[in-house]
Structure formats: structure tokens, C-alpha cells
Amino acid sequence: MATRRPAPPAFACTECGWTTSKWVGRCGECQQWGTVQEQAAKTGILRQMTPLAPPADRAARPITQITTAEAPRRSSGVTEFDRVLGGGIVPGAAILLSGEPGVGKSTLLLEVAARAARGGRRVLYASAEESQAQVRLRAERTNALHDELYLASETDLATILGHIDEVKPQLVIVDSVQTVASSLSDGAAGQPSQVREVAATLIRVAKERELPMIIVGHVTKDGQVAGPRILEHLVDVVCHFEGDRQTALRFIRTLKNRFGPTDEVGCFEMTGDGIAEVPDPSGLFLGHGSTEPGTCVAIAMEGRRALPVEVQALTVESPAPNPRRVVSGLDSARVAMVLAILEKRGRIATGKLDVYVSTVGGVRFTEPAADLAIAIAVAGSIRQFSVPRTVAAVGELSLAGEVRAVTQAKQRRSEAARLGYEQVVDERSKTLDAALKDVRARSTSRRREDDIPPF
């Protein structure tokens, strides 16, 4: 008797391809919700497709006959945003802007919309999270009012497309993709199937009409873009807007860019009147008082931009058997390693001291280039000597006490020279002991020379 073949799986996940014989709300492989859909039964019949002749304006051409003038960039009006995009917005580009709640995404895009409108382009700002009156209130506060800036408060995709047909804008902003729903897809707004349908439709409209479109995306708890991963594959540019709510500084980084580099960083500052560009943020991360023991300037790299960051250290005798180690703006693990190197290779005892290390301005400086500045700042706090404002330090410390070169060292030195730093202590000092002696030779002391033990 012939055995009966089992029925093929009738449901499959649209994200990872996982199959199951019955419908479930959550994929058992990728753990995504709402992605398991019924698949058509395979009949084994190969259907034929009739080839269609492409239109004359879309015919394939040799790549050497295609010029970049056919896709000219246009400025958004915000210089720092243009820097991140690679020089401006490309016609038909789909840009995804993500960020934490309350970081300032809507404020930034309203400023982009207002400046683009002042530049002579008609802009449609479709807000699915706020009413028109709420957006108007924010626009009045940030001085983002213009007759060419159109507002729409819609959560239905078809209605937003109707606004595009009626207004005929040259730039569209949709805030946000997780709050817009399409009647062609099942489920509530924000589910993976809805996000995929809404994003695919908006991107198709952008490509067909060469209409640049900026889409706001939510993030998850771990900072990833919410929704299906295919959303990041569909768009042309993925930008991430980040910043600490305790400080006014904001950075926008590019995670993906089909039209430019991905190592540019735009710098902004949140003010009472909205968001302001910071073309030269050097002064935000430096102290403005007299030089004190326990401070040292390092040159950090944010994308292609070199920024001076002041590292401060404070050491006090600890009354407890376990001294405290408090770190702000730096990698606590690297600070602990630098303290161990100081005690073993630099012969500076830190085991009985409370050590507090921080950066100025709330900036995050976690790259290894901060090692040497941390060591000099801690040593200056213990030995009570001040590093002059004309000296900066850049270098990675090895466990053997060697000072190693860091990435983009030439650009860091050039930026330091431009800002007036006469000396950069780096890998040319070879060892930590030599670097400390070099800095000590140019420093000023708070005690008599005879009271300071040699390194």
C-alpha cells in the first residue's frame, strides 16, 4: 500500500521564509509579529510571462552615456543635513530618519521643510502623530512659517497620496511610517505588514515622480529601526538622529547612503527657538577657565570631523577599603585599564584613591584614542601639574605601556594645529613614561618643584 505524502506547509514567514502547517501570530524563527501569511499551493505548472518593450525614456543605455547631471542634488537648506546626505538631496531619493523619542526628529524636519520652502520649493509635511494646529504651534516657536509649506494630518496612506496629487510638492516628509496604515494590508498601523506596504508605496511614488521623500521611523529599545528589516533595504539613505536628553547637543549619522559617504556627521544644538546648526562644535567640549591639574585635551573623530574634547580627572583619598571609579562620557572598562597601566608602567599609585573621570559638554568619547589623555589627566590630578592649553594628547595605550598610533592620526594633528595647539603628544613618544615626561616638561605645577616626585 502506497504511503500518503504529507501536505506541504500552508503558511510561511515573509521575513525569513520559515514555514508552518497552521497560522501563528509570531514567527518561530525570526520572532517577528504579523509576518506569517498563507502561501499559494505549488501546482508545478510553469506560467509564462510575455515580455514587454520598455518605454523610450526608460530604455537600457551604456553606463558611460549616463551623466550625473540627470540626478542633480538640491540643498535642503540645512548645511549640516546636506553634509550627512553627501551634498544635498537627490531627486527621487527615499530617506529614512530614525531616532529615540523626543530627540528632536520632528523639529529638525520641520526646519528642513521651512528652509526648503524659503528656497522656492513646495513642501508637503504629512504628520500622522500630530494635528495641524500642534505642528503650527511648533512652527511659530521655531519661526518655520512659509506659504509654500503645506501641512496635512493624516494616518491613511491613500489620503496622503491624494494630498501629493493635489499639492504637487517638490519634497514630501512623512512623520512617521509606523503611524500610517494602508487599506490594502491587514492589521493595525505599525505592524510589519503595514510598515512594509506603506514604505513600499511611498518609495514607489518617489521613484516614479522623482520626488524626494523623507520618512521618519521609530526605534526599538536597543536602538534599531522598528519594523521589518526590509524597510532599511528599500530606502536609499538611512540616518540616525541621536543625543543625550540631558544636553542640548545632537548628532545625525548616516548608516546607509547610496549617493554618498557614510562617515559624515552633522552636529546640532537644541535651543529654546528650535534646532540650530553647529558648524564648528570645537568650543562645546572645552573648558573656558584657567588650566587646572587633572585636565587634558584629546582629538576625537566624529565621522570625518575632528573635534577637540577635554578630559577631566579628579582623584581624592578614599576612606573606604574599595575606592570608587566614576566615569562619565568615556568607556569605563578602558578607564579601568588605563588606571592599571598607570600604576604598573607609570609607577603612579591609584589603588587607594577615588578616581572620577569625565568629558566636558556631555560628549561620548569611547574610542581608544582617549587612552593617553585619560592617563595624563589622572597623572596630573595626582601629581598636581597642569597641562597647558597649547598641548593635546592622542594615543592608544597597550598593556605593556606603549603608546600606539590611532586611526586618522594625520587629520587629528592637522585639526589640532588649526585650533592653535602647538604640540600633540602621540605615538612618537613611544612609551607612557616618555609621554608623561614630555607633558611634565611643558606643564605648570601647583607645588614646589622639590615636592613633586619624579616619574
pLDDT in tens, 420-432: 888 899 998 889 9
CB 424 within 8 A of CB 361: no
Q: How far is CA 258 from CA 89, 239, 313, 400, 425, in A?
A: 12, 12, 42, 43, 38
Please say whether the dihedral angle defined by the alpha carbons of residues 310, 331, 406 and 85, taken in this order, is positive or negative: negative
* pLDDT above 50: residue 67: yes
Half-sphere exposure of residue 50: CA atoms within 13 angstroms, side-chain side: 2
Grid cell 496612506 is found at 157
pLDDT at 1: 47
**In the predicted model, what is the mean pLDDT of the chain?**
86
Percent of the chain with pLDDT over 70: 90
Q: What share of the chain is helix, strand, coil (3-state, %, to 5)?
A: 30, 25, 45
CB 108 within 8 A of CB 275: yes
pLDDT on residue 230 = 84
| Per-residue model confidence as pLDDT tens digits over 392-406 | 999 999 999 999 999
Give residue 40's pLDDT band: very low, low, confident or very high (50, 70, 90): low
Report which secondary-structure segment, H or E, holds 58. none
Q: What is the mean pLDDT of residues 147-169?
A: 95
Average pLDDT over every residue of 168-187: 91
Contact, 314 vs 420, CB < 8 A? Answer: no
**Strands, DSSP E only, in 258-394?**
265-271, 274-277, 295-302, 305-317, 325-328, 353-359, 385-386, 391-393
- The answer, yes or no, to whether residue 448 has pLDDT greater than 50, is no
> Region 99-127: what's the mean pLDDT?
93
Cis omega before residue 176 (within 30°)?
A: yes
Question: What integer pLDDT is reported at residue 30 of this predicted model?
Answer: 84
Q: How far is CA 223 from the centre of its chain?
A: 10
| The pLDDT value given to residue 447 | 46
Distance CA 169, CA 180 (A): 19
335-368 residue pLDDT tens? 999 999 999 998 999 989 999 999 987 788 889 9
The helix (H) or strand (E) run that includes residue 446 is: none
Helices (H) and strands (E) in the chain, counts: 10, 22
Q: 169 and 122 in contact (C-beta within 8 Å)?
A: yes
Position 75, amino acid = S
Q: What is the pLDDT of residues 372-388, one digit of tens each?
A: 999 999 999 999 999 98
Q: How far apart are the first and last CA of the chain?
A: 91
**Positive or negative, the Cα torsion across 63, 66, 68, 70?**
negative
Residue 417's identity, in one-letter code, is A
| Strands 237-243 vs 249-257: parallel, antiparallel or unpaired | antiparallel
User: Does 46 have pLDDT greater than 70?
Assistant: no
pLDDT at 55 over 90: no
Cell matching residue 103: 530627540
Report, as an integer, the average pLDDT of 17-40. 84
- What SS3 state is found at 340? helix
Mean pLDDT within 119-134 = 94
Residue 287 has a pLDDT of 66
Dihedral angle computed from the Cα positions of residues 375, 377, 383 and 388, in that order, rounded to the nearest 10 degrees: 120
Band the pLDDT of 450: cuts 50, 70, 90: very low
CA gap 404, 375 in Å, rounded: 14
pLDDT tens, residue by residue, 234-275: 999 999 998 877 777 888 989 999 988 887 888 898 888 888
Which of 215, 264, 259 minimizes the C-alpha distance to 99? 215
Q: Is the pLDDT of residue 209 over 80?
A: yes
When pLDDT is averaged across residues 412-441 and rounded to a whole number, the result is 88
Pairing type for strands 237-243 and 94-99 reads: parallel
CB burial of 49-80 (b: ≥16 within 10 Å; e: otherwise) equals: eeeeeeeeeeeeeeeeeeeeeeeebbbbbbeb
Give CA–CA dist 355/357, Å, rounded: 7
In the predicted model, is pLDDT for residue 222 greater than 60? yes
Higher pLDDT, 148 or 192: 148
